[in-house]
Amino acid sequence: MAVNTDRWHVAQTYEKDWWEDRINGIDLDYLQKYATQLKENVAPVLKITKVTKILEIGSGPAGVLTFLESDQKYAIEPLESFFTAIPKCAEIRDKNVEYTEGMGENLPYDDGKFDLIIIDNVLDHCQDVEKVFAEMNRVLSPAGVVYLRLNLYNFWGLFVRYMAELFQIDEGHPYSFTKKGLEKYYKKHGLKVRTKTSRGVVKTWLKQVISFKAKELVKALTFSTPDTVIYILQKA
């Protein structure tokens, strides 16, 4: 499953414009709290130490790995040239992270290199989901862990998302997933679920309602609210 190159570039332009409006207000406290949550999520299967080899796919301006205590951290980001040129990014980034411009579909790393791969709210921005899963499996160590966080829709929500895509209403997200749809990908590419954590649709719906943001209210009023789900995956 892949979107055409033109559609992917539209999404990347949208992403760049989105960050240009928000980069100076990036919330480091949120990133730090999120890193703590991530460590708790992976703790049943992986303890992060100084020697844990970590890769974040789609790290954005800094990435949650900024606040993970390891000396072997790597990040890959399609818009890396854009972020590198922004002084604020240089200010907040961990100098121990090796940042690379590139895509999850073609990871420039050796087979079995990483103990932890982070792909947070990224899969629905990709060009080719099949290739991303294949590459994650390739560079994941035999006992390694994939931390995958993603918004997932029910059948009605997926239909609304399909209509939004048809009219290019949400340019930043070429893909939308259901739980069953996502399951098809990770199983096909040799990954299994160790743990799964769900925020719950009702909680997200209420957050959308009180946000008073037009796009969020539309999602709430069309009952197309997604469930944010965290998967901890390992090789099957």
Residue 194: exposure state from Cβ atoms within 10 A (0-12, 13-18, ≥19)? middle
Cα torsion 56, 91, 20, 209 to 10°: value is 70
pLDDT score, position 1: 59
Q: Going residue by residue through the chain (236 aa), what tens digit of pLDDT does each one get? A: 578 899 999 999 999 999 988 888 887 888 999 999 999 999 999 999 999 999 999 999 999 999 999 999 999 999 999 999 999 898 999 999 999 999 999 999 999 999 999 999 999 999 999 999 999 999 999 999 999 999 999 999 899 888 888 877 788 889 999 999 999 999 999 999 999 999 888 888 888 888 878 778 878 788 888 999 999 999 99
Q: Which domains does the chain have, with CATH numbers?
A: 5-152+177-200+228-235 (3.40.50.150)
Answer for the pair 113, 139: CB distance below 8 angstroms, yes or no.
yes
Beta-carbon contacts of 185 under 8 Å, excluding residues fewer than 6 positions away, are: 129, 130, 133
H-only helix segments in 2-69: 5-20, 28-42
pLDDT score, position 105: 98
Spatial distance between the Cα atoms of 222 and 63, rounded to a whole number of angstroms: 32
Give the β-pairing of 140-152 and 227-235: antiparallel
